[in-house]
Chain A
Amino acid sequence: GEDVEQSLFLSVREGDSSVINCTYTDSSSTYLYWYKQEPGAGLQLLTYIFSNMDMKQDQRLTVLLNKKDKHLSLRIADTQTGDSAIYFCAEIPDTGRRALTFGSGTRLQVQP
């Protein structure tokens, strides 16, 4: 079955890089996602990667995938106070039911 795990909390200083980690268990080809949720808001799709890729970069965001270890990370460069939010890792298998399975979310706190 599918299972996605994340650490619960990360605190960084403004201007530093943040790295949020996630592990997943699905053994099939899969899409892997990062969503951001700010207080009182919906889920914002940040970026996603297919499991045949190792890396994807989009401005301040870098996604790294280690398929052997089923480990996904999101690096935010030059973290700002506006990046404070909960970040969810999620996956969709390439076959079967095509709905997102979410991790429990990592709360990122950015200290000024």
Chain B
Amino acid sequence: DSGVTQTPKHLITATGQRVTLRCSPRSGDLSVYWYQQSLDQGLQFLIQYYNGEERAKGNILERFSAQQFPDLHSELNLSSLELGDSALYFCASSADTRGTEAFFGQGTRLTVV
């Protein structure tokens, strides 16, 4: 158990809908990262937050957004969903902004039908 908790584990939704994925980092970790794992794109970095502030952006679509709350949990919002958004979404956390040791949650499997 990495100590990073993601909910829900599975999500099935229709095209055009909006969903929210939630992540609780390990106790004491200030950085949260979101990654997407799909068959065609592999594992891709989406976005990083550190202590409530956005720190780095990767290949995140404009339809996607994230935030980190004062209690350090984070949410990834995916809107206007398309079939191609079906993927495993991982959250990772690390103690600092350098991300030297990042621990991953179990992921949320999103299926868009």
Contact = CB atoms under 8 A, between A and B. Distances in A.
Interface in B43-92: 43-45, 48, 55-56, 58, 90, 92
Interface residues of B, number: 25
Interface string A85-112: 0001010100001111111110000000
Contacts of A104: 42
A45 B103 contact: yes
Interface in A18-46: 31, 35, 41-45
A42 B45 contact: no
Interface string B1-40: 0101000000000000000000000000000010100000
A10 B90 CA distance: 25
Interface residues of A, number: 20
Given A41-B106, A44-B104, A88-B43, A98 B58 contact: no
Contacts of A99: 33, 45, 48, 56, 58, 99
Contact of A42 (B44, B48, B97, B104): B104
Contacts of B105: 42
Given A42-B2, A42-B90, A102 B43 contact: yes
Interface of B: 2, 4, 33, 35, 42-45, 48, 55-56, 58, 90, 92, 97-107
21 contacts: A31-B100, A35-B104, A42-B104, A42-B105, A42-B106, A45-B102, A45-B104, A48-B100, A88-B43, A92-B98, A98-B55, A98-B98, A98-B99, A99-B48, A99-B58, A100-B33, A100-B35, A100-B45, A101-B45, A102-B43, A105-B43
